[in-house]
C-alpha cells in the first residue's frame, strides 16, 4: 500500500480544532470528546475521513454485538506488527473514527469499529479495507432498520471495489448472505446459538432450519458455508480442519472466544500468525469497562454489558455459577431504544436458582418478566441499593451486574472509569 500523503493545510487545521474541542470536553467532564471533536473536524473539512484513511491498512469491524471487544482484540493483534490507530472505546460513527485517526501516526494501520448502519458510508471513504462481519440481530428497532434491511446494505457494500477481503461469520445466515458477493471471503465458524432473527431465508424468503451440522434453507438450498476457521468446544480454534489453537483468553465467555476466532482470521490475512497474535490478545482483560470488577460499598461487582436479546443470552452465559446473585439493570433511553418489549425475548428462565435484583429506569418492566420466568427477585431504585440487596442473598460479598447501554455508562461514571 502506498504511503499516506501529508495532509493539506485545511485538514491539519480541522484535526487540530477537533483535538482542541475534545480536550475541552474532557476538562469539562462532558465525556471523552471523541464525537464532538470529530464533528467539529468534519464540519471544517467534510473530506477528512478519506484523507485520514488514505495509505493505511484498514480493518473494519461491524455487527450487532461484540464490535467494541472484537476491535480491542484486533488492535492488540495488529499492534504486534506496528502502530495501530483505533476507536476501540466505541465511538463508531464517522466523527468518532475521524477523532481516532486524527490522533494516529501517519501510515499506522487502523482497526475501526463501525456501527452496522454506517458500514456503506465508511467504505465509500476508504480505498481498501478488510471487513469483519460478526452477526446481525434485533437492536433498537424504534430507530434502526430491521436486520434484513441491514443485511441488504451490507451485501451491496461487500461487493464494493474497496473491500479487499471479508471475514464473515458462517453461522449467521444473514451475515453469510451479506458476504456472498464479496471478491474474497474467509468463513469463520463461531458456533453461534442465537437463531431467532434468522429463521427466514434472506435469499428467497423460505424457512431456515438449524441443526447440529449448521443451517440450510428448505426452499432454495442456501446453506452454511464451510469455514476455514472454526471455534471448537473447549475454546479452541481449528484452522483448515487440522491445526488446533487453544485460546486461553483474558476475557470470559463463548461469545468472546468467537470474537477471538474472527480476529485470528483477520490478522492472519495481514501475515500475523496466531502464535504472534494470541499473546497480545490475551492481555486484553477489560474493554471500555466491560468485564471489569468494581468495589461498591465493600461488594465485588463484575460488570457485564448486554444491549439486546442476543447480547443478554451471551451475558447470562458469562455469569458465575449459581447461587451467585445478579443485579440486572434496564433503561429505555434513546441510545437503548425506547421500547423495552424485547425483554420478553431474553431467556431469563436461565437465571433460575439465583436471586436477581432489578434496577434501572425500567426495573418494573424487568421485574414483571422475571416473575413470569419464575425467578426469585427483588426491585431496587439505585445501584447501591440493588448491590446491597443482592449481596445480602449471597455468601461471598460478590455479585454479577448485567446492564444495558445507558445504565452501564451511568454505573461506570459512578464507580470511576478506567484510564
Q: What gap in Å lies between CA 389 and CA 355, rounded to an integer?
A: 9
Nearest by Cα to 97 from 83, 108, 116, 111: 111
Mean predicted confidence (pLDDT) in 106-134: 94
What pLDDT is attached to residue 314?
94
Cell of 210: 438449524
Contact 165, 184 (CB under 8 A): yes
Q: What gap in Å lies between CA 294 and CA 17, rounded to an integer?
A: 36
Q: What gap in Å lies between CA 100 and CA 287, rounded to an integer?
A: 16
With 60 as the cut, is the pLDDT of residue 388 above it?
Answer: yes
What pLDDT is attached to residue 33?
64
Which burial class, exposed, middle or buried, applies to 31 when counting CB atoms under 10 A from its CB (0-12, 13-18, 19+)?
Answer: middle
Beta-carbon contacts of residue 241 (< 8 Å; ≥ 6 apart): none
Mean predicted confidence (pLDDT) in 66-89: 93
Return the sign of the alpha-carbon dihedral for residues 103, 107, 112, 117: positive
Q: What gap in Å lies between CA 126 and CA 144, rounded to an integer?
A: 24
Beta-carbon contacts of residue 136 (< 8 Å; ≥ 6 apart): 63, 64, 116, 147, 150, 151, 154, 172, 174, 175, 178, 197, 198
313-326 confidence digits (pLDDT tens): 999 999 999 999 99
With 90 as the cut, is the pLDDT of residue 1 above it?
Answer: no
Contact 286, 76 (CB under 8 A): no
Mean predicted confidence (pLDDT) in 83-92: 85
Higher per-residue confidence, 103 vs 177: 177
- Tally the residues of the chain: 419
Place of cell 468446544: 233
What pLDDT is attached to residue 348?
97
User: What share of the chain in percent tops pLDDT 90?
Assistant: 74
10-43 confidence digits (pLDDT tens): 888 988 888 888 778 776 766 666 788 888 989 9
Q: What is the mean pLDDT of the chain?
A: 91
What pLDDT is attached to residue 3?
55
What pLDDT is attached to residue 133?
98
Give rounded-to-5 percent helix, strand, coil for the chain.
Answer: 40, 20, 40
The partner residues of 293 in beta bridges, in order of sequence, read 302
What pLDDT is attached to residue 41?
87
What pLDDT is attached to residue 417?
79
Beta-carbon contacts of residue 74 (< 8 Å; ≥ 6 apart): 59, 61, 86, 111, 132, 263, 266, 267
Contact 76, 23 (CB under 8 A): no
Mean predicted confidence (pLDDT) in 179-202: 90
Place of cell 461487493: 159
Contact 49, 130 (CB under 8 A): no
Q: What gap in Å lies between CA 46 and CA 10, rounded to an integer?
A: 10
Mean predicted confidence (pLDDT) in 373-382: 97
pLDDT bucket at 4, cuts 50 / 70 / 90: low
What pLDDT is attached to residue 141?
58
Cell of 189: 465458524
Contact 65, 310 (CB under 8 A): yes
Beta-carbon contacts of residue 352 (< 8 Å; ≥ 6 apart): 373, 374, 375
Mean predicted confidence (pLDDT) in 219-236: 94
Q: What gap in Å lies between CA 201 and CA 237, rounded to an integer?
A: 28
What pLDDT is attached to residue 202?
93
Query: Span 293-415: which CATH code?
Result: 3.90.190.20
Contact 279, 76 (CB under 8 A): no
Q: How far apart are the first and last CA of the chain?
A: 34
Q: What gap in Å lies between CA 322 and CA 107, rounded to an integer?
A: 49
Cis peptide before 323 (omega within 30 of 0): yes
286-299 confidence digits (pLDDT tens): 999 999 999 999 99
List of E strands, 218-373? 229-232, 236-239, 243-246, 293-296, 299-305, 326-329, 356-359
128-186 confidence digits (pLDDT tens): 999 999 999 987 655 555 888 999 999 999 999 999 999 999 999 999 999 998 999 99
Lowest mean pLDDT among 149-153, 197-201, 364-368, 372-376: 197-201
Q: Please give the model's pTM, rounded to 2 decimal places.
A: 0.92
CATH class entry, domain 51-281: alpha beta
Specify the DSSP element, H or E, that contains 27. helix 9-27
Q: What gap in Å lies between CA 118 and CA 154, rounded to an integer?
A: 10
Cell of 268: 492472519
pLDDT bucket at 247, cuts 50 / 70 / 90: very high
With 80 as the cut, is the pLDDT of residue 386 above it?
Answer: yes
Higher per-residue confidence, 91 vs 275: 275
Amino acid at each position: 500500500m502506498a504511503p499516506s500523503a501529508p495532509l493539506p493545510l485545511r485538514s491539519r487545521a480541522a484535526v487540530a480544532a477537533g483535538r482542541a474541542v475534545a480536550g475541552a470536553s474532557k476538562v469539562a467532564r462532558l465525556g471523552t470528546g471523541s464525537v464532538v471533536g470529530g464533528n467539529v473536524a468534519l464540519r471544517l473539512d467534510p473530506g477528512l475521513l478519506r484523507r485520514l484513511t488514505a495509505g493505511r491498512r484498514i480493518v473494519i469491524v461491524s455487527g450487532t454485538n461484540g464490535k467494541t471487544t472484537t476491535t480491542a482484540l484486533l488492535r492488540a493483534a495488529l499492534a504486534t506488527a506496528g502502530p495501530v490507530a483505533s476507536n476501540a472505546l466505541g465511538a463508531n460513527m464517522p466523527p468518532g473514527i475521524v477523532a481516532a485517526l486524527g490522533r494516529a501516526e501517519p501510515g499506522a494501520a487502523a482497526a475501526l469499529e463501525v456501527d452496522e448502519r454506517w458500514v456503506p458510508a465508511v467504505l465509500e471513504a476508504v480505498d481498501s479495507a478488510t471487513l469483519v462481519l460478526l452477526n446481525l440481530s434485533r437492536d433498537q428497532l424504534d430507530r434502526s432498520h430491521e436486520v434484513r434491511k441491514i443485511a441488504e446494505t451490507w451485501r451491496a457494500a461487500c461487493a464494493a471495489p474497496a473491500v479487499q477481503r471479508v471475514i464473515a461469520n458462517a453461522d449467521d445466515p444473514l451475515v453469510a448472505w451479506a458476504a456472498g458477493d464479496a471478491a474474497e471471503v474467509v468463513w469463520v465458524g463461531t458456533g453461534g446459538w442465537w437463531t431467532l432473527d434468522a429463521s427466514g431465508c434472506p435469499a428467497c424468503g423460505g424457512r431456515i432450519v438449524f441443526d447440529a451440522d449448521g443451517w440450510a434453507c428448505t426452499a432454495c438450498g442456501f446453506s452454511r458455508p464451510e469455514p476455514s476457521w472454526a471455534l471448537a468446544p473447549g475454546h479452541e480454534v481449528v484452522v483448515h480442519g487440522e491445526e488446533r489453537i487453544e485460546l486461553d483468553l483474558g476475557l470470559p465467555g463463548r461469545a468472546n472466544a468467537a470474537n477471538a476466532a474472527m480476529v485470528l482470521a483477520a490478522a492472519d490475512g495481514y501475515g500475523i500468525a496466531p502464535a504472534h497474535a494470541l499473546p497480545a490478545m490475551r492481555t486484553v482483560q477489560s474493554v471500555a469497562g466491560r468485564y471489569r470488577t468494581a468495589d461498591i460499598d465493600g461488594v465485588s461487582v463484575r460488570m457485564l454489558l448486554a444491549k439486546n436479546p442476543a447480547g443478554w443470552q451471551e451475558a447470562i452465559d458469562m455469569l458465575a455459577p449459581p447461587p451467585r446473585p445478579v443485579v440486572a439493570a434496564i433503561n429505555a433511553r434513546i441510545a437503548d431504544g425506547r421500547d423495552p418489549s424485547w425483554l420478553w425475548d431474553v431467556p431469563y428462565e436461565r437465571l433460575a436458582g439465583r436471586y436477581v435484583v432489578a434496577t434501572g429506569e425500567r426495573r418494573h418492566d424487568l421485574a414483571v418478566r422475571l416473575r413470569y420466568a419464575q425467578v426469585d427477585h427483588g426491585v431496587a431504585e439505585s445501584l447501591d441499593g440493588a448491590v446491597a440487596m443482592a449481596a445480602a442473598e449471597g455468601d461471598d460479598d460478590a455479585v454479577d451486574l448485567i446492564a444495558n447501554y445507558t445504565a452501564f455508562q451511568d454505573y461506570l461514571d459512578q464507580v470511576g472509569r478506567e484510564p
